[in-house]
Amino acid sequence: METKQAVSKGDLEILARVASTVSLHRGELLFEEGEPEDAVYVIQNGKVAVGHPEHIHHWVDFGPYGTVDIPESHEKAGATTHLHGVGIQSSGTLLGDHGMFGHGHYGSSALCQTDCNLLRMDDRQLANLGILAPKLFKQLSEEIENH
């Protein structure tokens, strides 16, 4: 299942002025379900599968010392992760969208199906987007609310 674009090609150019670029190869994991969510991503090009990992892991919150993933298996899945409930995301799609409104944990894993270029925005970069392009920031905010 493929989802609709959150932003247009022109919007990607605006986002590129405030965001960091991330390049990943086919089979690389962008983020894993349960990891602390510290940024949002917009796909510039490529395809990313988003779903829930088949392996089971256990997250332990150590308060001020952070959260630690204690995998139930002997090693983390990494690039060999198999996902179920998969949705395929492509250019212009927003990933990790809860990061705009607070720091929770990723609710799913994102695995590159092709070589990908993504735009990564943390809190500071999102604040800059709000100043540079308030309409685009509002559009992304509404996309999250409707997500």
pTM higher than 0.85: no
Contact status, residue 85 vs residue 53, Cβ threshold 8 Å: no
**Inter-CA distances, 57 with 33, 52, 143, Å:** 9, 11, 29
What is the per-residue pLDDT across 69-82, written as a single tens digit (0 to 9) for each? 655 544 444 444 56
Distance CA 40, CA 114 (A): 19
Nearest partner of 36 among 102, 116, 119, judged by Cα: 102
Q: Using DSSP, state whether 22 is helix, strand or coil.
A: strand
What is the per-residue pLDDT across 46-100, written as a single tens digit (0 to 9) for each? 999 988 776 655 567 777 877 666 555 444 444 445 665 667 888 899 888 665 5
pLDDT tier at 6, thresholds 50, 70, 90? confident
Question: Tokens representing 107?
Answer: 């609710």
